[in-house]
């Protein structure tokens, strides 16, 4: 159990943890409704989250925090690129540093696994999205000159889901190599 003054313990997800992940992500949906309004019209933000088993079947890794699990980060590997697919912390555990700890642990693991950078796609102006990741050292990638084909494909899927209707979506990344590495998030 963590307190706001303690560093949360992040660990690899175990099989027994997987059943908690969808509920944690679904619980966070209320934050989007509060921010965007209850009639925001983006069904993808209202729909049921993927199950933990579905997430576990995708190449990459899952890390969790809390006992019982109250937060997770899912990093997928697509075309050899590490991409932070989802970070969710149950609303009852917000502002305790758990999201930050999860992102830092994901960054460290992706680095250990030999990835040059960790990317993500997020809402630029939602406070717990773009500004949060910027504070951890992520920078926005220019759509025309810096995004890789994998990022363009992921964004195409997001557009198809209607996510752009709720705000400006951006791809961000943080370098993980010694050359040009940003300060540790």
Element (H, E) at 158: helix 149-161
pTM, to two decimals: 0.86
**What CATH number is given to the structural domain containing 105?**
3.40.630.30
Would residue 53 count as lying in a domain? yes
Would residue 1 count as lying in a domain? no
Would residue 92 count as lying in a domain? yes
Structure tokens at 183: 């300060």
Higher pLDDT pick, 172 / 143: 172
Would residue 154 count as lying in a domain? yes
Q: What is the pLDDT of residues 11-33, one digit of tens each?
A: 999 999 999 999 898 887 666 66
Structure tokens at 111: 């680095």
Domain count, the chain: 1
Would residue 79 count as lying in a domain? yes
Would residue 14 count as lying in a domain? yes
Would residue 181 count as lying in a domain? no
Range of the domain at 134: 10-175
**Residues β-bridged to residue 171:** 121
Q: What is the pLDDT of residues 108-127, one digit of tens each?
A: 999 999 999 999 999 898 88
């Amino acid at each position: 159990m963590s307190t706001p003054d303690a560093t949360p313990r992040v660990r690899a997800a175990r099989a027994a943890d997987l059943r908690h992940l969808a509920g944690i992500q679904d619980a966070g949906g209320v934050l989007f409704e509060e921010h965007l309004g209850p009639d925001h019209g983006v069904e993808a933000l209202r729909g049921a989250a993927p199950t933990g088993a579905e997430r576990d079947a995708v190449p990459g890794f899952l890390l969790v925090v809390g006992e019982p699990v109250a937060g997770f980060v899912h990093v997928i590997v697509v075309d050899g690129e590490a991409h932070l697919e989802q970070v969710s912390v149950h609303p009852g555990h917000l502002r305790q540093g758990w999201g930050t700890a999860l992102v830092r642990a994901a960054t460290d693991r992706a680095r250990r696994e030999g990835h040059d950078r960790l990317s993500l796609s997020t809402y630029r102006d939602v406070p717990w999205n773009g500004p949060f990741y910027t504070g951890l050292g992520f920078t926005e990638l220019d759509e025309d000159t810096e995004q890789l084909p994998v990022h363009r494909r992921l964004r195409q899927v997001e557009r198809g889901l209607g996510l752009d209707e709720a705000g400006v979506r951006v791809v961000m990344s943080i370098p993980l190599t010694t050359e040009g590495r940003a300060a540790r998030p």
